Amino acid sequence: RRKREAEEEEERARREAEEEERRKRAEIDERTARGTRAKWGGLAEPGSVKNLFGSRVACVALGGTGALFVFENGEYGSTAGLPMGLHQRLGGRPGGDPPPDYVAMGSRGRYYVRFADGASAWDGPRRMGEELRTTDRRVATVAFGALFDSYFIVYADGWWNCGNIPRDLDEKIKAETIGPDLVAVSLGPNGEWMMKTRDNKMWWGGLLPTVSATVLEHKDTITGTWFGDNGSYLIRHR
């Protein structure tokens, strides 16, 4: 009997070790897909950005010249300059409330935040708010553009909704006949944009020369691009 119990315990330990190894491999794969490195410019508190960014960052958001990072465990860190409404939403929640799992920021105080329980809040264009209140789709990304009513929502199923986006982005969507194929879209306050599809094709437009040079340098490994005020940016790559 003791021998059988020992064998069962050994088998249980083996299965647990294999499961832990699978979990670690999946974690590494997910982090690699998100991008483990980044380049940025023009952001306030670049030292803080350097300390905050890492492979465990699950979400990046830029707004003004500030940056916010949501980590895998739901904790977050940021530089100064968050939109006041977002700062109050994040800082005013009781300790036991679900943490944020996705945040987007823009100029003029615009933001979108979703919490781990599915609840969300935002400050942005009226049309965007109407869309978010009536849809049952899960949001993948939200972006805010140059004008207050410029926005782009990408849903987890690849569909999207947008308003007053840059003309060259609109033309690219039509030229590529983009359907329910999107993974992410970023917009900037000076007409910048990035679009990414499920087959990992990416396009950019409206970039300043410094940003364009960085995109060209890392084009084959870029996983995401975000834009802030005064030409600030962050490019995430593998």
Instruction: Say if residue 41 is in the same domain as residue 104.
Output: yes
Average pLDDT value for residue range 12-16: 85
1 and 43: one domain?
no
pLDDT at 227: 98
Cα 29 to Cα 180: distance, rounded to the nearest angstrom: 25
Q: Are residues 47 and 162 in the same domain?
A: yes
CB 160 within 8 A of CB 182: yes
d(CA 235, CA 44): 16
pLDDT of 13: 84
pLDDT tens digits, residue range 157-176?
A: 999 999 999 999 999 999 99
- Are 114 and 22 in a shared domain? no
Looking at the structure of the chain, the number of domains it has is 2
According to the model, what pLDDT value does residue 91 have?
Answer: 82
- Output the pLDDT for position 26: 85
* Verdict on whether the full-model pTM lies above 0.85: yes
Q: Are residues 160 and 52 in the same domain?
A: yes
Most confident among 19-23, 65-69, 91-95 (mean pLDDT): 65-69
Taking the CA atoms of residue 84, residue 74, residue 198 and residue 208 in that order, the dihedral angle to the nearest 10 degrees is 40
DSSP states of 198-217 as a string? TT--EEEES--HHHHHHHHH
Question: Quick one: 39 and 26 in the same domain?
Answer: no
| Residue span of the structural domain in which 24 resides | 1-34
* 2 has a pLDDT exceeding 80: no
DSSP strands (E only) in the chain: 37-41, 57-63, 66-71, 76-78, 100-105, 111-115, 120-123, 139-144, 151-155, 160-163, 182-187, 193-197, 202-205, 222-227, 233-237
Compute the distance between CA of residue 124 and CA of residue 226 in angstroms, rounded to an integer. Answer: 18
Per-chain mean pLDDT for the chain = 94
Q: Work out the burial of residue 20: count CB atoms within 10 Å of its CB; fewer than 13 is exposed, 13-18 middle, 19 or more buried.
A: exposed
Same domain (yes/no): 30, 122: no
66 and 29, same structural domain?
no
Same domain flag for 140 and 65: yes
- What is residue 158's predicted lDDT score, i.e. its pLDDT? 97
Instruction: Tell me what pLDDT residue 12 has.
Output: 86
pLDDT tens figures, 78-121:
999 889 999 898 887 777 789 999 999 999 999 999 999 999 99
Based on the domain organization, do 40 and 27 belong to the same domain? no
Same domain, 2 and 52: no
85 and 10 both lie in a single domain: no
